[in-house]
Structure 1
Amino acid sequence: MEMDNIECVSTSDGLEDEIPHHHNHNYNHHHHNHQNNPQIPQFSSLKTHNVNVVVPLTINRTTSVHELLECPVCTNSMYPPIHQCHNGHTICSTCKTRVHNRCPTCRQELGDIRCLALEKVAESLEFPCKYSSLGCPGIFPYYNKLKHEALCNFRPYSCPYAGSECSVVGDIPYLVSHLRDDHKVDMHSGYTFNHRYVKSNPREVENATWMLTVFNCYGQYFCLHFEAFQLSMAPVYMAFLRFMGDENDARNYRYSLEVGGNGRKLIWEGTPRSIRDGHRKVRDSHDGLIIQRNMALFFSGGDRKELKLRVTGRIWKEPPNSDGSNVCIPNLCS
C-alpha cells in the first residue's frame, strides 16, 4: 500500500561513502575436501543375515566419508536416525517418509533398519562450517555442526525489505545493492534524517508497512521502517530502525526518533535491532516509536482528517553499558 506522498530530507553529515556495486554471491553449500588426513575411514558393504551392514576401511580422504553421509534424495548431511534398505543403501529420516518408505536407489522397501555403523563413525568426525567460504573459521564435531550453522555469524542475511516475502539472501553489500536496484529503496548518507508522512485519508490505512530509507553512516547501514497496524484494537503508527548486521554489532549504536506538533512531541530512544530479526518481530515487540492515530491526527493539525506527520531522528555510536541501563521501555523514554 502506498502513501499519497512521502517526502524525505536527509541532513548531510559530510559522509560520502558510496553504496557498493551489485555483487552476486553464490551461497550454495559446498563439500570441503581434506586430502591430508589419513585417519578418516571409508566404508564397505558387508552382508550379515541377508542385510548389508556398512563397515569402516582405511582411506585418506574426508570427501569420501562426507559423500557417504550425504542423503541421496535431499543431498544434505544425514543425522541419526540414518536408515538403510536390505541392500545397504542409506537415506535420512526425513526423506524416508518422502519416498514412501521405498529405497530411491534400488526401489526395495526400506523397513526400519538403522545404519548404526555409519552413525557411529559420524560421531568421530569433524567438519568445517558450511559458511567457511564466507569467513567462518570454525571446525565442529559432526553432530554439533547443524546447531552452529543455525546461529553462525557468517551465515547470509535475508533481504530486510518490509511488506514482501523476498527470498533473496546475501551479505550486506549485496543486499544494499539489491534494496536500491530491485526494491527502489531510497539511499542516504548521514546520521540525521527528517521524514514527512502524508495521507489524505488515514482511516483507510489499517495494516500497511513501508521501508522508507537505508542510511549509510559510521561505515554501516541502517533501515528505517514505518508501520500502520492495530494494537489492542486501536489503530497506531510505528517507526523503528534496524541495523544491517549482527546483534552484537547492533548494540554499539543508538538512535532517537521524534514526532510532534501543536506544541507537543513524543521522543523515542533505543538500540537498533539487527535485520536477523524480521520487521514483523520488531513491530510485534513494540520496540520503536508508537503513535496512536488520535495523537498522530492531533500532531497533523487542521481538521484532523489528513495525516501529516514529520518524524526526525539521528543515529550515533555508543557502546552499550555493561549494567544494561540503556534499555528503554517503548514510548516512556525521553
Structure 2
Amino acid sequence: MDIDSIECVIDNDEIHHHLNHQFSSTKSHGGATVATNIVGPTAIAPATSVYELLECPVCTNSMYPPIHQCHNGHTLCSTCKARVHNRCPTCRQELGDIRCLALEKVAESLELPCKYYNLGCPEIFPYYSKLKHESLCNFRPYSCPYAGSECAVVGDITYLVAHLRDDHKVDMHTGCTFNHRYVKSNPREVENATWMLTVFHCFGQYFCLHFEAFQLGMAPVYMAFLRFMGDEEDARNYTYSLEVGGSGRKLTWEGTPRSVRDSHRKVRDSHDGLIIQRNMALFFSGGDRKELKLRVTGRIWKEQQNPDSGVCIPNMCV
C-alpha cells in the first residue's frame, strides 16, 4: 500500500452530534467567572470526543486543513508538524506526509457557536468559517490600550478602564475638553519617549489621549492622537481637535478618533494625529529652546443628525 494514500478512519457515531441539547461552558473574563448556556434547536455543538479530536495536541488550537497524522493515526496541525522535527509528539514515530482526510471531512460537517458566545455573540458558524468570524467578532475582548508597556490584559471596556486606573495609574478626567502640558528636560531623547496616557469620559464613552516622541525617518517628532475605547463603527460618531501653539503661532488637527481595536503602534505609524517637528515644538516651548514645555489643548464632540435638514451638527459637551 502506498503510505501517502493512507487516511485515518473515524467511527461515524462520533461524527455528528445533533440539535436539541444543551451546550454549556464556564470561562473567566475580566477577573470574573462567567457561566453561559446555549439551549434549544439553534444550538449545535460537537460531541466532546470529536471536539478533542480536532484539537492539536501540541498547540491545543483547533486544526484546519491540511490535518496531518502519523502511521499510528495520531494527528496534529500543519503549523506544529514543522515544529516537531518530523516526529509524532504522541508516539515519537517518524511522521510521513499523510493527510487525515476523514477528520477534515468531520470538521466540514460541524457547526459551532462563536467562542465569544459567553460575551454575547449569538452566531453559529460552520467549522471552517468560525475562525475568520472570531478574528473580527464585535464581541471579542479589547486589548489594553496602554502604550508604555507590553500589557497583555484583555477585557471589556468597563474592565479595562478600571485596569488602566488601578494598575497603570493613568490620569482620569471627566469632560470633553482638555489642556495638557508636556515637559521633557532633554528633548533630544526621542526613542521610547512616551508620556502618561490620559483617559477622558464624556458622552458616556471613554477616550485615550496619547502623546509621545519618535523618529520619523531622520526627523525627531512629537505626536498627539486620540483613540476611542470601542469599535470603529461607533468611533465614527465622534470628532476631536488638537492644538499647540506659542509666540502668536499655532498648529491644529481635527479628525476622527481611532478605535482601540487598532493597536497603539498601528495608529502611530499611520501618522493619524497631530505631528509636531521637534524644532517647532521647542519654538512653541519658548525660552532658550533647550527644554520641551508644550501645551496641548483639545476638544471632543459628537456628530448628531439634524432630523430637519439631514445635516450632521456638532454636539458640544460642556
TM bucket, shorter chain: 0.7 to 0.9
Partners of 2:188 and 2:165 in 1: CA distance = 30
**1:53: which partner in 2?**
9
Where structure 1 has 5 or more consecutive residues not aligned to the other structure, the ranges are 1-48, 321-325, 327-334
Equivalent pairs, count: 275
Partners of 2:187 and 2:160 in 1: CA distance = 32
1:96 aligned to 61, 65, 81, which one?
81
2:218 aligned to 210, 228, 233, which one?
233
Computed over aligned residues only, the root mean square deviation of the Cα atoms, in angstroms, reads 2.4
Cα contact 1:162–1:210 (8 A) shared by 2? no
**1:256: which partner in 2?**
241
Q: Scaled by the length of structure 2, what TM-score is found? A: 0.80
Go from structure 1 to structure 2 and tell me whether the alpha carbon gap of 1:99 and 1:181 turns closer, same or farther (over 3 Å shift): same
Matching residue's letter, 2:246: G
**1:203: which partner in 2?**
188
Runs of 4+ in structure 1 over 6 Å off: none
Matching residue's letter, 2:136: L
**1:124: which partner in 2?**
109
Q: Scaled by the length of structure 1, what TM-score is found? A: 0.76
Partners of 1:178 and 1:151 in 2: CA distance = 24
**Residue aligned with 2:103, SS:** helix
**2:119: which partner in 1?**
134
Cα contact 2:177–2:297 (8 A) shared by 1? yes
Go from structure 1 to structure 2 and tell me whether the alpha carbon gap of 1:181 and 1:218 turns closer, same or farther (over 3 Å shift): same
Where structure 2 has 5 or more consecutive residues not aligned to the other structure, the ranges are 19-45, 306-311, 313-318
Q: How does 1:33-44 map to 2 (within 5 A)?
A: none
Matching residue's letter, 1:110: L
Q: Shift in Å at residue 55 of structure 1?
A: 4.3
Superimposed CA distance per residue, residues 12-68 of structure 1 (whole angstroms, 9 cap, x where no aligned partner) = xxxxxxxxxxxxxxxxxxxxxxxxxxxxxxxxxxxxx99752342366462232222
Partners of 1:147 and 1:50 in 2: CA distance = 30
**Residue aligned with 2:194, SS:** strand
Matching residue's letter, 1:155: R
Sequence identity percentage: 85
**Residue aligned with 1:127, SS:** strand
**1:173: which partner in 2?**
158
1:272 maps to 2:254: no
Partners of 1:309 and 1:60 in 2: CA distance = 64
